[in-house]
């Protein structure tokens, strides 16, 4: 059984989708399955480091990228299908070629954000991208998604024409050595800060987190800090970074809220290792990889009661009402005051994280690949 894995999108993928693609490729090589031959369209590490379309700013640059992506999906990828004659084509970035193909398709649609949150995307771009997704849903296609919540959301918007299977993904395997000097260099103490890692997309609700943190400081007189790692949102409509920066100044929290931008794996491992707690206030997620990363590092997690986060965390996180600033503040204070609760969450979270392994991730794919077409 030949499987062709499309890894083109790694040249611009960030955060969740990049992790998904990289971990899928790594797991395919680490855990081979008898009767399954994997073929990659690109070498994962090399493609992820391609700078050709990184940091697009001008309209011409963005247009060139979209043209390149269209050429890939509609001409170059179908040519590779003709060349390698795979039994299965896996497209892990929402879009499969519109052209008819002589093989099964497994198309990964991570979430339903494009349908649920249209206000967060440029109108023309959303319309164009949705048309690419729908045109690629054709003969012998099976959709893969990340949680039962995402499956239900996709069925609501796409109907049940195509079978949808849930495969839980694995968190990022960070192989780099921990940067032992990072905390001291940034004047951070062990268990002296709350942590969030991810882009400043609006759905992440980071202004809410900053306001809740300010209330937490007022009510506890704590010296703990808040570290918000990551870069700007993916579009002007989605980007809350300027709002967060302005809010930090207005609240006088320049010394308490740290915005270090993007960090390497060694620096991120240092932050995970030293954090008091991870806070995930997002209003909408398809999965929530940082929950598992944090739990794997032995950090208690506070998260919104958004369905996908509840599903992934199980009963191993401390949930607050989505969008409720006061409730988030209360949960931060509770974790600060109840050491037994914190220890319980650490133990429970560590066990929960073990359930989302790279081996289980690829085994679920192999099961679908080797199953009879539906």
Q: In this structure, are 342 and 275 located in the same domain?
A: yes
Q: In this structure, are 138 and 196 located in the same domain?
A: no
Q: In this structure, are 82 and 144 located in the same domain?
A: yes
| Residue 52 placed within a domain | yes
| Residue 8 placed within a domain | yes
Picking from 270, 250, 106, 310, the residue whose alpha carbon sits closest to that of residue 182 is 270
Q: What is the C-alpha radius of gyration for the chain, rounded to an integer number of angstroms?
A: 21
At 16-29, the pLDDT tens digits run 899 999 999 999 99
Q: In this structure, are 347 and 364 located in the same domain?
A: no
Q: In this structure, are 7 and 59 located in the same domain?
A: yes
Q: In this structure, are 196 and 218 located in the same domain?
A: yes
How high is the pLDDT of residue 233?
67
At 72-97, the pLDDT tens digits run 999 999 999 999 999 999 999 999 99
Distance CA 89, CA 7 (A): 11
How high is the pLDDT of residue 71?
95
Q: In this structure, are 15 and 139 located in the same domain?
A: yes
Q: In this structure, are 348 and 272 located in the same domain?
A: yes
Q: In this structure, are 121 and 190 located in the same domain?
A: no
| Residue 74 placed within a domain | yes
Q: In this structure, are 322 and 217 located in the same domain?
A: yes
Q: In this structure, are 12 and 104 located in the same domain?
A: yes
Domain range for 260 is 182-354
| Residue 40 placed within a domain | yes
Picking from 352, 195, 210, the residue whose alpha carbon sits closest to that of residue 279 is 195
| Residue 215 placed within a domain | yes
How high is the pLDDT of residue 252?
96
Q: In this structure, are 349 and 361 located in the same domain?
A: no
How high is the pLDDT of residue 113?
92
Instruction: Kindly give the parts of the chain with pLDDT less than 50.
Output: none
CA torsion, ordered 168, 319, 341, 287, to nearest 10 deg: 20
| Residue 177 placed within a domain | no
Distance CA 200, CA 310 (A): 21
What burial class does residue 332 get, using C-beta atoms within 10 Å of its C-beta: 0-12 exposed, 13-18 middle, 19+ buried?
buried
Give the number of domains in the chain: 2
CATH number at residue 282: 3.40.50.2000
| Residue 175 placed within a domain | no
């Amino acid at each position: 059984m030949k499987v062709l894995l499309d890894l083109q999108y790694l040249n611009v993928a960030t955060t969740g989708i990049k992790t998904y693609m990289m971990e899928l490729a790594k797991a395919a090589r680490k855990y081979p399955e008898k009767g399954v031959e994997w073929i990659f369209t690109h070498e994962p590490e090399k493609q992820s480091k391609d700078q050709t379309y990184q940091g697009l700013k001008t309209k011409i640059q963005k247009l060139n990228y979209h043209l390149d992506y269209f050429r890939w999906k509609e001409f170059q990828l179908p040519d590779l299908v003709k060349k390698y004659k795979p039994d299965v084509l896996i497209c892990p970035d929402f879009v499969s070629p519109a052209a008819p193909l002589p093989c099964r398709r497994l198309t990964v649609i991570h979430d339903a954000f494009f349908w649920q949150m249209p206000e967060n995307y440029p109108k023309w771009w959303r319309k164009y991208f949705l048309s690419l997704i729908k045109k690629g849903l054709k003969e012998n296609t099976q959709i893969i998604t990340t949680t039962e919540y995402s499956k239900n959301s996709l069925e609501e918007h796409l109907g049940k024409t195509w079978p949808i299977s849930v495969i839980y993904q694995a968190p990022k395997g960070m192989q780099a050595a921990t940067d032992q000097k990072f905390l001291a260099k940034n004047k951070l103490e062990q268990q002296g800060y709350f942590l969030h890692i991810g882009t400043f997309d609006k759905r992440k609700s980071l202004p809410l987190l900053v306001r809740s943190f300010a209330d937490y400081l007022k009510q506890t007189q704590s010296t703990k800090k808040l570290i918000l790692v990551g870069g700007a949102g993916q579009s002007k409509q989605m980007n809350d970074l300027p709002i967060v920066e302005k809010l930090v100044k207005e609240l006088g929290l320049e010394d308490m809220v740290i915005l270090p931008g993007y960090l390497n794996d060694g620096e991120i491992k240092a932050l995970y290792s030293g954090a008091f707690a991870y806070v995930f206030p997002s209003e909408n997620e398809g999965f929530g990889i940082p929950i598992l990363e944090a739990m794997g590092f032995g950090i208690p997690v506070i998260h919104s009661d958004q369905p996908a986060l509840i599903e992934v965390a199980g009963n191993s996180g401390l949930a607050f009402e989505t969008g409720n600033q006061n409730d988030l503040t209360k949960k931060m204070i509770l974790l600060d005051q109840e050491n037994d609760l914190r220890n319980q969450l650490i133990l429970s979270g560590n066990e929960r994280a073990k359930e989302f392994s790279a081996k289980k991730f690829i085994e679920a794919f192999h099961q679908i690949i080797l199953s009879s077409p539906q």
